[in-house]
Chains A and B, each alone.
Chain A
Amino acid sequence: DAKTTQPTSMDCAEGRAANLPCNHSTISGNEYVYWYRQIHSQGPQYIIHGLKNNETNEMASLIITEDRKSSTLILPHATLRDTAVYYCIVRPMIYNQGGKLIFGQGTELSVKP
């Protein structure tokens, strides 16, 4: 599976947009980009995933560059409850290709009042 690189930590002011970058320069054609987050002492929570088009749901937006070598997760109006570690993961989408979620170190996002 392709590796990802994320900044160790980021700060964001409450109410502002949080933009979390992720580099995945060795991503393969059949690998999707997934984002999960983990609030302290809880299990990870699925946020969003995408292949090559930008995606948006009720939680966030995912912007993937045209060459697919990097992406950005956008939380449009960050709240204090968005303080968490955010993980960017790439894995094959096809069910029978295994597609284990392997977690890197993630980005620790601190939303401040």
Chain B
Amino acid sequence: GEDVEQSLFLSVREGDSSVINCTYTDSSSTYLYWYKQEPGAGLQLLTYIFSNMDMKQDQRLTVLLNKKDKHLSLRIADTQTGDSAIYFCAESLIMDSNYQLIWGAGTKLIIKP
């Protein structure tokens, strides 16, 4: 079956880079997404990558996709206190002729001063 796994916590110092990792099991993924969830707020799409790409950069965010290892990562450069949140990885799959999102459990990013 399909499954998406992430580490539950990541702690980094302010100003350092954060790297959040995600592994998935279904090689038929079309798009892979990173969502951010701040306390009391809804899930917000941060960035996404299409499955035929291996890298995407958007300002401080870099997404790397290794299809062979089914590994996705999100790098946040110059991590700031405002980056404190839970980050969810999700893959888009075709299930029963419909596109569904399969979600990881989320990685809580903790920023140390």
**A and B from one assembly?**
no
